[in-house]
Structure 1
Amino acid sequence: MLKIIVRIILFFLAIAVVVNVVLNLRNSDLTNKATSAKVSEISFAPIAISSNNSEKSKMRVSPSITVEYDDNTSVTHDLSYKVLTKMGDTIGRGKIGLMTDINGDPILKGNDEDISDGPDGNSLISVGGKHYLVTHMEEAPGQLYHTEIKVENGVFSAVDTKPVDLSAMGGTIINCASTKTVYGTHLGGEEDYSLNSIFADANSPFYTDC
């Protein structure tokens, strides 16, 4: 149960940080066009460790982020935590976190839909003027979700979601960490809980030469 809670918290925390940083660090802030100054440092205001049960039960983020430029100017933006979506939410034509089989049909647990409790890595990708959040489900079989994000008046909202079709590569498994590359693409990794370093150590009696 603790592992599930940590996964969900990390998912929402990742979304909160990504959304707020992207909202506040717009292109006009990354480069001061008047002076051609460039970002030299980014820092978050400190936040105290939770001191009571009420604070421990809430998602808390730094109250602000400061962007410093190489011309010795700086801009500070307020930050706040907002939930973009939760597993099982219906977004447009899809339901985020719904596990599907090779044919795209829902996987069932008994008579109920299998909704992932293991959301993990996220990448916020921009293509053709639109924004998409690619989300990993740390499950076996694995699953990735592709969610279109709309930005209006500085507010993000999820407008449509669908599972990524991985049937051409035979599917995937236990999709864990991910990041956005310098090329603006998504990079993700799988895990295999059955792997152990003893199989890679040439001095181990369990060593396997692949």
Structure 2
Amino acid sequence: MNSNTINIFIIKFYYMEYIISTTIYLLKGTYVTISLYLVTAIFSMPLSIIFAALQFSAPKFVRYIFDIYAWLFRGTPLILQLIFFYYGIPLITNNKIAFPAFTSAAITFVLNYAAYLMEIFRAGIESIDKGQYEAAYVLNLNYRQIMTRIILPQAIRKVLPPLSNEAINLIKDTSLVIVLGIGDLMLYARQVLTRDFKLIPFVIAGIIYLLFTFVIVVLFRNLEKKYVIRS
């Protein structure tokens, strides 16, 4: 074995060790990424369903409030909303209302995604044939029973494809919390980049995001095959 072969082996070993150690370090940041993802999904989903259902039964001024809410959160960048909730609200309230960084991010993400999902569910509800409402009223079902037993189950199945898109967007959007200094996957990757001046941590972070996305895609494809209703 000549010296060149030994040098190549050492270089390969070094890079392999570096990739493994960097991956292990970056995986620490996935705890925040996954936590924020789950909190947003768990709370924004039921909230958006309730908001969507209320738009068909609430007084007109309440519907206007929902319209303004959707306009604000869908019409402004999520990163701006994160900055406002974490830095702006304490400034406006003289620090009387202030949240930890993760809590502030979670509230922002829930409200933002609830606004998007509300419009998706509203479209799903509107797509249900009006004759089903009439048939339900003939059976003496009240509005809540009609929604929970007949309309919403069908609407949710119809909107699974757009829901999958939002689920994929969410895993990517979690990287925006880096502006709040939260130790997520992207912040860990940037720390390694700053320390080593190598792009490898960002490549590894990209692969981790792709793996998360792959899991979400597979999950929703299975759900769509089983439950989706084609128009």
TM-score (norm 1): 0.27
Structure of larger gyration radius: 2
More helix by share: 2
Return the structure number with greater relative CO, CA threshold 8 A, min gap 6: 2
More strand by share: 1
